[in-house]
Amino acid sequence: MANIQLLFGPMLIGAFLNMILYGVVVAQMFTYYQSCKNDSLWIKNLVFYLFITETINTGLDMAVMYEPLVIKFGTDESTTFFPLMLASGPIMIIAVSTPVQLFIAWRIMKISKSNFVSGTISILAATSCAGGIWTAITISLIRRFDRKSEIRPPALLWFVTAAAADILITATLTRFLYKRKTGYAKTDSAISRIISLTLQTGFITAIAALADLVFFLVLPHTNLNFIWEFALTKLYSNSLMSTLNARAAWNYQLPNNGGNPLYAKSLPGGSERLHDTLPPVVNALSLSRRDDLYELEGRKSYPNL
């Protein structure tokens, strides 16, 4: 891998994307803590955990680039051996992707009552986590750019299962939301917006994971895959945070929409207060309190619906 541009260029671009998206993550999290003060403590702790993990990941990605471009600049070692901290990449990615996927799997179980689907997502997430650990260990053992192809088996396990989990999550939520349509324009319009956000946030992580894998397999003598890989943690965090924050707009405008069944937030005044403000059309999708989170229940308000 003698081409310096293809060796360090993609890694540097990936590091830049990581840092840019880190700013977006921080802004999303600030918005979350400002607008979602009534969420359960454990969800707030999950967001704080993601903040700490993303901060560490950003620092490690900077260290990955600092070693070959500054400390070992111009030496044969910089183009022969992986940067020392490169193995931290897979660990940090699964440290973010696995909790996010498991959290969504749990919410799917709560709203759909399907242990099979949520269990499948959980197994895929756990398998992806194992693949990420295997990849990190392999990187630490081989250490050389010219042996990069040896990472293929663990990388396949890691990215294929991660993408499968993301696609299954997106398909399940889209199907669930589509079935919630009532035939009333305002409610259906709100559900369509939620479906759109679900597709955008779900597929972007799956596409990034698959792009990382495809570039790695098709162009093994370049580092183009790192453009995607360095940004993956931030994509997972942003996908979760954007949906959490979107609840505020949906829930504070309940007369115009049906809320977000996956991440519905608890508002001051409780569910009774919310029901008092809902017109009959929106009441076709009723809100109830379960486990300190509001969930959307399918309920027919009219005999013929």
CA–CA gap between residue 57 and residue 53 (Å, rounded): 6
Adjacent-strand bridge partners of 107: none
Two tokens, residue 51: 């903040």
Contacts of 107 (CB under 8 A, 6+ apart): 262, 263
In a domain, 147, yes or no: yes
Q: What is the CATH number of the domain that holds 208?
A: 1.20.1070
In a domain, 144, yes or no: yes
Compute the C-alpha angle 123/127/131, nearest 5°: 170
Query: Contact 195/174 with Cβ under 8 angstroms?
Result: yes
CA–CA gap between residue 63 and residue 25 (Å, rounded): 20
Contacts of 162 (CB under 8 A, 6+ apart): 97, 101, 124, 125, 128, 131, 205, 206, 209
Adjacent-strand bridge partners of 297: 286
Q: How confident is the model at residue 288 (pLDDT cuts 50, 70, 90)?
A: very low
Adjacent-strand bridge partners of 289: 294
In a domain, 158, yes or no: yes
In a domain, 187, yes or no: yes
In a domain, 100, yes or no: yes
In a domain, 69, yes or no: yes
In a domain, 14, yes or no: yes
pTM across the whole model: 0.80
Domain count, the chain: 1
In a domain, 170, yes or no: yes
Q: How does pLDDT run across 52-92, given as a tens digit for each residue?
A: 999 999 999 999 999 999 999 989 999 999 999 999 999 99
Q: In which domain, by residue range, is 220 found?
A: 4-253
Q: Residue type for 176, please?
A: F
Q: How does pLDDT run across 102-146, given as a tens digit for each residue?
A: 999 998 898 878 799 999 999 999 999 999 999 999 999 999 999
Query: Contact 157/131 with Cβ under 8 angstroms?
Result: yes
